[in-house]
Chains A and B, each alone.
Chain A
Amino acid sequence: MKGNRQMAVLESVTEIKEGVDQETVDAVQSLSATYKHGWETEIETDYAPRGLDEDIVRLISEKNGEPDWMTEWRLQAYRRWLEMDEPEWAMVDYPAIDFQDQYYYAKPKSMAERPKSLDEVDPKLLETYERLGIPLKEQMVLAGVDGAANSPYEGRKVAVDAVFDSVSVGTTFQAELEKAGVIFCAISEAVRKHPDLVRKYLGSVVPQSDNFYATLNSAVYSDGSFVYVPEGVRCPMELSTYFRINAENTGQFERTLIIADKGSYVSYLEGCTAPQRDTNQLHAAVVELVALEDAEIKYSTVQNWYPGDENGKGGIYNFVTKRADCRGARSKVMWTQVETGSAVTWKYPSCILRGNESQGEFYSIAITNNRQQADTGTKMVHLGKSTKSRIVSKGISAGRAQNTYRGLVSMHPRASGSRNYTQCDSLLIGGKCGAHTVPYIEVKNNSSRVEHEATTSKVDEDQLFYCRQRGMDEEEAVALVVNGFCKDVLQALPMEFAMEAQQLVAISLEGSVG
C-alpha cells in the first residue's frame, strides 16, 4: 500500500520540531494518505431533474411507491424548509451551498428491477462492494440474490443494508432476522410494508422541522434503513448499513429509524464512503432511535466520507442529525463514532433521557487533517429521574484543520438524582490547526451531579521519543500514541469496527507529522 501514496504537501522544513532528523522528515514527507475509497463506479444512473421544488419531492415519493400520507408529510417539511435559514453558529466555514444545483435522487439503472440471480446483478455493483471490502458471501446477498443467505456461513454474521446513492441495493440475512421477529429493511420498503410502525415513530424523535438540514431531509429523504426489534428480543446479529455516494453532484439524504421495543437489544453499525471529486457533495441524514422500557441500542459509526484533498478541494459536507429517545424506564443508548472523513462535519448524536433511570453514552473520536473542519459533539437532556449520561470525546487536529467539540448537558428540575460525566480531550499536531471546546452545562436541580473536564495538549514528546527509541518511525509512533489517546472510544466499538477504526486513525494522520 505504501507504494502508491502521493507526495505530501507539507508547509516548510522550518516547521519541523526540534529533535527530528532530516531523514525522518523526508520519509514522512514521502508518505501521505490517499483516500482509499476515492474511486468511482461507472454505472448508468437515473437522476431526478436537477434542483428542488414540490414536484421533485412528489417524484421522490412516487419513485418509492409511497402512500399519500408520506407524500404529504414530505411536502409539509419542504414548505417549512423554505422558511428556514441555514444555521451559522457552528465553527465551520464553507462557501454557500446552492441547493438548486444538486440532484436529489439518483438510482443505478440496473436496479430498476430487482435481480433474481447472480447473473442478473449488475457486475459493476458487485465489483463496487467487493472493492469496498464487503465479503463476497455478503456481496451476493447484498446484490439481491435470493437464496444466497441460506448457504453455510462461518464466523460472526453481520446483516447489511447497502445504500447506493439514493436507493437501498439490498439487505442481507433478512430471512434469518425475520425468524427472530426482527424487521430490518430499507425504509422505503418499511413505509410500504409496515406503515403503522413507520407512521408512529417517524419524526417522533427528530421532528419534521427540527433544524434546517433535518427539515430538508424530511422533504427529500430517498432511502435508508429501518429496524424494529420486538419485545424481549436480542437481535441475533449485528446490523449494519453501508452508505455509498457514487453519482456526481448528488446529495445523499438517508433516513434511519430504529425502534427497540421493551427489553430488546440491538447493535447497529454504519459505514460510509464516497468517490474523490473536486466538487463538494452534500450529505444530510437523519437518524432516529427509540428505546422503550429496558431496551438497549448500540449505534456505531465509522464515517469515512471523502475529506477533500490537502488543499481543501472537494469532499463531503456532512450535516447530520442523530438523536435517540430513551423513552422507557431503564432504557439505554450508546453512540460511538469515529469521524475521519468529510470536508465539513456538523453532527451531534444526542440522547433525550426521558425514562427514569435511562442511560445515554457518547464516545467519539473526531480526526481532522489538511483543511477538514469538524463541529461535533452531543446533547444529553436529562428529563427522567436518576438518569445517567457519560460523554467521552477525543478530538485530533492536524494540518490546517479545525476541530470543535460542542455539547450540551441539561439537567431538568425533575431529573433528580441524575448524573453526568463528560471528558473531552483535544490533541493538536502542528501549529496551524485548531481545537475548540464549547460545552453547555445547565443544571436545574441540586441532587444531580455534573462533571466536565477538558484538556488540550500536543502529542507528548517523551512518549514519542520513547517509541522512536524502540525502533519505530515517527509516523508509527504518532499513530501509537494517538491510538492510546483514543483507547477509551475504540474500546467501545464492536469488534468489526474496532480494527477498521484503529487503522483509520493511523491513515488519516499520515503526512501530518512535522
Chain B
Amino acid sequence: MGLPARGKEDAEARIAHLEMPAGQAGWARLAHAQALTRFLKMGLPGRRDEYWRFTRPDDLNAPQAPPAAVADFKEAPVFGEIDRLRIVFRDGVFDPEASDDLACEGLEIERLQSAAAHDIHWLKDVYGVLEARGQEPVARPFAALNTAFATDGIVIRATESVSRPVNLIYLHENPDSDAILHFAIKVESGADLTVLENGPAAARFNKCMEVEVADGGAFHHVRAQGRDHERRAVTHMFARLGKDSAFKSFTLTANGVLTRNEAFIELAGDNAVAHIAGAAVGDGDFHHDDTVFVVHDAVGCESRQVFKKVLRNGAVGAFQGKILVKEGAQKTDGYQISQSLLLDEDAQFLAKPELEIYADDVACSHGSTSGAIDEDALFYLQSRGLPRPEAQDLLVLAFLAEAIEEIEREDIAEDILGRLKGWLQRHRR
C-alpha cells in the first residue's frame, strides 16, 4: 500500500535534514535502510489515524522541533541519592565527561555507534528487530524513523544480576534541540538489570528502547519524565520476553506539552510476567498519551497495566491499552486498569482500553474510570483537621498509589513519591 503523494512529501520533508550515521557495519546499514523503508511506507500519522485519535501528532510531524525554553530546576535531580551508574546525554549527545565509567561487572555497556561498527555483535539481533516486530498490527512511524536516524544511544548487555542501576540522564540545554536516541538492551538468562531514566532531554525528544529479556532474566525500568518542561516527546519501548522472565516498567510524567509513550510488550516464552505502570500529573498545557500493546503469545503468562492520571486546568490525558491474547496462549492472566482524576472542569480523559482474545482458558479483565475527587473523603479529612490543599494532595497520592506500588525497589519508589509530593505542592491552588 503506497502513500498518497501528499503523505510522501510530508514524510520526506520530515527527514530531509536528518542523516544516517556513517562508518557502520553492513548489518547496521541494512537495519537503518530497512527502517527508512518502513517509515516511508507508513508515512507520518494524521489526525484521522485511528491510533492517533486522541493525540494530535502535528508537533511531532513538523520538520523542525518547536522550541522549548531551557528550564531552571530548583530541586535536585531525581535518583540523586541512589548508587547508580550515570550515563549523561546533552540534547541527545552522549557526554563521556559527565558520565561515570562505563565498566561495570556483569554489564557490557557500549556507545551505539561503536557497537554498530562491529561486524559481529549481539546488537544485530536486537537493533531494529524488536521495533520492526512492533509495527504489526499498528504502525509506529516515529519508532521506524528513530531506528533509521538515531543520532546517539547506548547498548547494554547484562550477563548477571546487577544491583546497581544504570541511570540514563537527559539534559536539555539548547532551546531548539531535536534529539533522537536509541537504546538496545539484552538481559541474558538469569541476569537482572535495572534502568532508570530522567531529564527533559531536548525541545523535542524521540526515544526508542528495545529490550530483549532471555529465559529467566529480569528487567526493571523506572523513568521520571516531564518536570514542568515545555518539551514534546514521543517514546517507544519494545520488549520481548522469554520463558520465566520478568519485565517491570514504571513511568512518572509531570507536565510537558506533549508526551506520547508507546509500549509494545511481547510475552513470547511461557510463564513470563510483564507489568507496565504509569502515573501522570498534568496542570495546564499538558497532553499525555499512554499507548500500550501487550501481546500474549505463550502459555501461563501474566500481564498488568496500571495507568493513573491526575489532570487539571486544560490538561488532557489519553490511554490506549490493549491486551492481545493469541490462539493457544492459554492460562493467560491479563489485567488492565486506567483511571483518571479530574481536578477541575477543564480537564479531559480519553481512553480506549481494548481486549482482543483468541484463547478460551484465560482470565482477562480491564477497568477504566474517570471522575472528580471524592468530596466526602475530602470533607472527612478536613473534619480531622487537615487543611483542604493537604487533604486533596493526600487523596491524589492515594489515587496514584496503585501505580507507584509497581516499582519494586523501595528506595526508588520513595524517590518517585517525593517527586510527586513536591510537584503537588508547587501546583496547589
Cβ-defined contact, B355 with A436, below 8 A: yes
Q: Is the interface of B mostly helix, strand, loop or mixed?
A: strand
Cβ-defined contact, A446 with B362, below 8 A: no
Q: Let me know if B327 is at the binding interface, CB within 8 A.
A: yes
Complex formed: what's the CA distance from A361 to B356 in Å? 25
Chain A residue at minimal CB-CB distance from B342: A446
Cβ-defined contact, B368 with A445, below 8 A: no
Complex formed: what's the CA distance from A299 to B348 in Å? 33
Map CB proximity to A onto B343-357 as digits: 1 under 8 Å, 0 otherwise. Answer: 111011111111111
Chain B interface residue bracket vs A: 35 or more
Complex formed: what's the CA distance from A261 to B217 in Å? 66
Chain B positions within 8 Å of A437 at CB level: 353-356, 366
Cβ-defined contact, B365 with A447, below 8 A: no
Cβ-defined contact, A453 with B356, below 8 A: no
Distance between A90 CB and nearest chain B CB, rounded to angstroms: 12
Q: Is the interface of A mostly helix, strand, loop or mixed?
A: strand
Chain A positions within 8 Å of B353 at CB level: 437, 439, 441, 452, 454
Cβ-defined contact, A444 with B348, below 8 A: yes
Complex formed: what's the CA distance from A437 to B366 in Å? 9
Q: Let me know if B360 is at the binding interface, CB within 8 A.
A: yes
Q: Let me know if A24 is at the binding interface, CB within 8 A.
A: no
Q: Let me know if B370 is at the binding interface, CB within 8 A.
A: yes
Interface of chain B residues 55 through 77 with chain A (CB within 8 A): none
Chain B residue at minimal CB-CB distance from A416: B345
Cβ-defined contact, A441 with B365, below 8 A: no
Q: Let me know if B253 is at the binding interface, CB within 8 A.
A: no
Chain A residue at minimal CB-CB distance from B348: A444
Cβ-defined contact, B362 with A456, below 8 A: yes
Q: Let me know if B361 is at the binding interface, CB within 8 A.
A: yes
Complex formed: what's the CA distance from A428 to B359 in Å? 8
Cβ-defined contact, A439 with B360, below 8 A: no
Among A91, A436, A441, A448, the most chain B Cβ lie within 10 Å of the Cβ of: A441
Distance between A406 CB and nearest chain B CB, rounded to angstroms: 10
Chain A residue at minimal CB-CB distance from B360: A428
Chain B positions within 8 Å of A431 at CB level: 327-328, 330, 359-361
Chain A positions within 8 Å of B358 at CB level: 433-434
Complex formed: what's the CA distance from A457 to B333 in Å? 10
Cβ-defined contact, A452 with B368, below 8 A: yes
Q: Let me know if B369 is at the binding interface, CB within 8 A.
A: yes
Complex formed: what's the CA distance from A283 to B223 in Å? 52
Complex formed: what's the CA distance from A316 to B345 in Å? 46
Complex formed: what's the CA distance from A405 to B290 in Å? 22
Complex formed: what's the CA distance from A433 to B362 in Å? 12
Chain B positions within 8 Å of A426 at CB level: 355, 357
Q: Let me know if A190 is at the binding interface, CB within 8 A.
A: no
Could you say which of B50, B327, B355, B368 contacts A432, with CB atoms under 8 Å apart?
B327
Interface of chain B residues 343 through 400 with chain A (CB within 8 A): 343-345, 347-372
Complex formed: what's the CA distance from A452 to B366 in Å? 8
Could you say which of B345, B365, B367 contacts A446, with CB atoms under 8 Å apart?
B345
Cβ-defined contact, B50 with A450, below 8 A: no
Q: Number of A interface residues, CB 8 Å?
A: 37
With contact pairs A429-B360, A441-B350 given, residues A450 and B368 touching in the complex (Cβ less than 8 Å): yes
Complex formed: what's the CA distance from A430 to B358 in Å? 10
Distance between A16 CB and nearest chain B CB, rounded to angstroms: 13
Distance between B213 CB and nearest chain A CB, rounded to angstroms: 26
Chain A residue at minimal CB-CB distance from B352: A440
Map CB proximity to A onto B308-336 as digits: 1 under 8 Å, 0 otherwise. Answer: 00000000000000000001101000000
Interface of chain A residues 416 through 431 with chain B (CB within 8 A): 416, 426, 428-431
Distance between A14 CB and nearest chain B CB, rounded to angstroms: 13
Cβ-defined contact, A438 with B345, below 8 A: no
Q: Let me know if A124 is at the binding interface, CB within 8 A.
A: no
Distance between B385 CB and nearest chain A CB, rounded to angstroms: 26
Distance between A24 CB and nearest chain B CB, rounded to angstroms: 18
Could you say which of A429, A448, A452, A455 contacts B364, with CB atoms under 8 Å apart?
A455
Chain A positions within 8 Å of B350 at CB level: 441-443
Q: Let me know if A435 is at the binding interface, CB within 8 A.
A: yes
Distance between A320 CB and nearest chain B CB, rounded to angstroms: 22
Q: Let me know if A449 is at the binding interface, CB within 8 A.
A: yes
Q: Let me know if B340 is at the binding interface, CB within 8 A.
A: yes
Could you say which of B355, B363, B369 contacts A450, with CB atoms under 8 Å apart?
B369
Cβ-defined contact, A447 with B351, below 8 A: no
Q: Let me know if A153 is at the binding interface, CB within 8 A.
A: no
Map CB proximity to B onto A100-138 as digits: 1 under 8 Å, 0 otherwise. Answer: 000000000000000000000000000000000000000
Q: Let me know if A5 is at the binding interface, CB within 8 A.
A: no
Distance between A430 CB and nearest chain B CB, rounded to angstroms: 6
Complex formed: what's the CA distance from A456 to B324 in Å? 12
Chain A residue at minimal CB-CB distance from B322: A438
Complex formed: what's the CA distance from A86 to B348 in Å? 32
With contact pairs A431-B327, A439-B352 given, residues A456 and B370 touching in the complex (Cβ less than 8 Å): no
Q: Let me know if A413 is at the binding interface, CB within 8 A.
A: yes
Among B348, B360, B361, the most chain A Cβ lie within 10 Å of the Cβ of: B360
Chain A positions within 8 Å of B362 at CB level: 428, 456-458
Cβ-defined contact, B370 with A443, below 8 A: yes
Chain B positions within 8 Å of A40 at CB level: none
Cβ-defined contact, B365 with A455, below 8 A: yes
Chain B positions within 8 Å of A458 at CB level: 360-362
Complex formed: what's the CA distance from A91 to B354 in Å? 13
Q: Let me know if A451 is at the binding interface, CB within 8 A.
A: yes
Could you say which of A89, A413, A439 contacts B368, with CB atoms under 8 Å apart?
A439
Among A411, A426, A444, A458, the most chain B Cβ lie within 10 Å of the Cβ of: A444
Could you say which of A413, A430, A454 contacts B345, with CB atoms under 8 Å apart?
A413
Cβ-defined contact, B361 with A454, below 8 A: no
Chain A positions within 8 Å of B370 at CB level: 411, 441, 443, 448-450
Could you say which of B50, B357, B372 contacts A89, with CB atoms under 8 Å apart?
B50
Interface of chain B residues 136 through 157 with chain A (CB within 8 A): none
Could you list 15 examples of A-B contacts with CB < 8 Å?
Answer: A426-B357, A428-B359, A429-B360, A430-B360, A434-B357, A435-B355, A437-B355, A439-B368, A441-B352, A446-B347, A449-B371, A449-B372, A452-B367, A455-B365, A456-B365
Given contact pairs A449-B372, A451-B368, A457-B364, a sample of 17 additional A-B residue pairs in the complex whose CB atoms are under 8 Å apart: A89-B50, A91-B356, A428-B360, A428-B362, A437-B354, A439-B351, A439-B368, A441-B353, A442-B348, A442-B351, A446-B347, A449-B370, A451-B369, A452-B351, A452-B368, A453-B366, A458-B362
Query: Which are the 4 A-B pairs with shortest beta-carbon distances?
Result: A446-B342, A428-B360, A449-B371, A441-B351
Chain B interface residues (CB < 8 Å from chain A): 50, 327-328, 330, 340, 342-345, 347-372
